[in-house]
Amino acid sequence: MKIKCELIIERDGKEVYRGESKSFLKNFGIVLAGMLKNTGAGDARKFVVVTNTAGASANVYVEDSFGTDVRYFGVMGFYAGDNDDSYGILVGSGSTPVSPSDYALASKIPHGTGSGQLDYDTHNVLSGYGDTSGYVEIYRSFVNKSGGDVVVREVGLVARSIDGAVPSDVRYLIARDLLPSPITVKPLGSLTVKYRISLAIR
C-alpha cells in the first residue's frame, strides 16, 4: 500500500499549488508511537510528552481509564470552528526553514479583519474509499477582509488533544510546510488550504 500526503492551495477558487507535504514533525511521531503502544482496553491513563504551541512541554493522553472520571476524550482533533485560529489548519507569513522540532508557525497570521490578518473559516472533511484506493481530505478557507494584501509563506496543522478526566487541553503542531513561493491574498480575496491523504494498493 502506498500512502501520500498532498498539500493543495487554491486562491480565489483556482488551484495555485499542489505538492507533497514532507514536513510532518517530531510531535506527530511521538503521539503516533504512543497510540500504537496502546492496549485498546482503556484500563490505564497513559500519556506522551509533546511541545505545545506555546513552546512548553505538555501531556497528550493516548489512553484513559474507566471509572467515575469525566468521559470526554480526544487525541488528535483538527476540526476547529469558525474564527478559531488556535488549532486545525493555520497559515503564516514566516519563512524560517522547517525543523523537526518546530512547535509553532514561524509567524502565524491571526484571525481577524485588521491589517495583516485573515478571517478563518471552519473546516470541512471529504473522504472516499474503493477496492484499490481511498482518500481523506481536510480543508479550510481564509478570506482577506483587512483592506490590504496579505502574504502567506507557510501553512501548518495544529492538533488538539483533550481529556476531561485529568483535565487536559493541549494544542500541538504536527506539520509545517513552507511554500515554494509566497502567495498574496488580495483584499476580499480567498485562500483555501487542503491536506489530502491518499491510499493506493500497488
pLDDT value at residue 74: 79
The pLDDT tens digits of the residues spanning 40-81 come to: 776 677 889 999 999 999 999 888 776 655 566 778 899 999
User: What cell does 13 get?
Assistant: 477558487
User: What cell does 51 get?
Assistant: 511541545
pLDDT value at residue 70: 55
The pLDDT tens digits of the residues spanning 108-120 come to: 999 999 999 999 9
pLDDT value at residue 173: 98
* Residue 59 CB-density burial (10 A; 0-12 exposed, 13-18 middle, 19+ buried): middle
pLDDT-above-70 percentage for the chain: 94
Average pLDDT value for residue range 16-31: 94
Domain residue extents for the chain: 2-200
At residue 35, the 3 state secondary structure works out as helix
Query: What predicted TM-score, i.e. pTM, was given to this entire model?
Result: 0.93
Q: With bands split at pLDDT 50, 70 and 90, how would you rate the model's confidence at 38?
A: confident
Rounded mean pLDDT of the chain?
Answer: 92
- Say which residues have a Cβ less than 8 Å from residue 95's Cβ, sequence separation at least 6: 106, 153, 154, 178
Peptide bond into 167 cis (omega under 30): yes
pLDDT value at residue 72: 65
Q: Residue 126 and residue 5: Cα distance in Å, rounded? A: 14
